[in-house]
Amino acid sequence: MLNWIFSILFLWFIFSHSNGQPSRINEDISSAMEANALSFLSEVDTKLKSIRNIEYNAAYDYNINITEKNRIKMIAIKTENCKYVKEVAQMIKSILSTLSLDALEEEDYNTLMNAISKMKSNYAKVKVCSYEDKTICNMALEPEIQERITNSRNPDELAYYWKEWYDHSGLPSRENFRTYVELTRKASKLNSLKSYADDWINKYDDKDFEANVDSIYNEILPFYKELHTC
């Protein structure tokens, strides 16, 4: 019972303090999630009080009137209550055992956040030279490069922008990306997951999410190939 209460309190602590702990709590935990968590806890608390009251009354009836009928009734109620407690405990265990990147030690977490922010910064700041005039080197991804890729029908120009963008945005981020892969894998192992992909997939309610995505991919693949062979 104490473990059960501790799990409930710990879950409440996580959600109710999420906005006050930006350094260790996932940024995507919103106020809506907090409200849902508190609503869930309130519902569980009410239900738990109710079933425990019924259980205690059954135990009391048996203790003051030890009959086979009262014994069977008490055991049946205890067994039914145990099923409910286990179901909710499994839900809480699932939430508490998957801390995503927050499972990392502080040093690793900071290293990972630095790597991610540097990749984002590099992606946003990269500029390349114009295909038509190499003295003009202020071509950003948005809107200049995207405009040329959208409207140009010159394969050499398209290949130029693709390579220039890759060389300037991808290559400088290699080390940071290696760090990202290494530490997300480490976080996944700490969460008892095979890979960080599992962490992403776990956020979806659809148990057949991967199979459904593969199915959609295979449906559009022929059209994609046809489009790019024109």
| Contact assessment for residue 74 and residue 58, using Cβ atoms and an 8 Å cutoff | yes
Alpha-carbon distance of 105 to 186, in angstroms, equals: 10
Alpha-carbon distance of 204 to 217, in angstroms, equals: 18
C-alpha pair distances (Å), 176 with each of 21, 24, 63, 180, 184: 25, 20, 67, 6, 12
Q: Is 123 annotated as a binding residue?
A: no
> What are the tokens at 115?
């790597």
Alpha-carbon distance of 18 to 7, in angstroms, equals: 17
Residue type, 79: T
Alpha-carbon distance of 182 to 108, in angstroms, equals: 10
> What are the tokens at 16?
């109710």
Residue type, 223: F
* Residue list, annotated binding site: 204
* Residue list, annotated binding site for chloride: 204
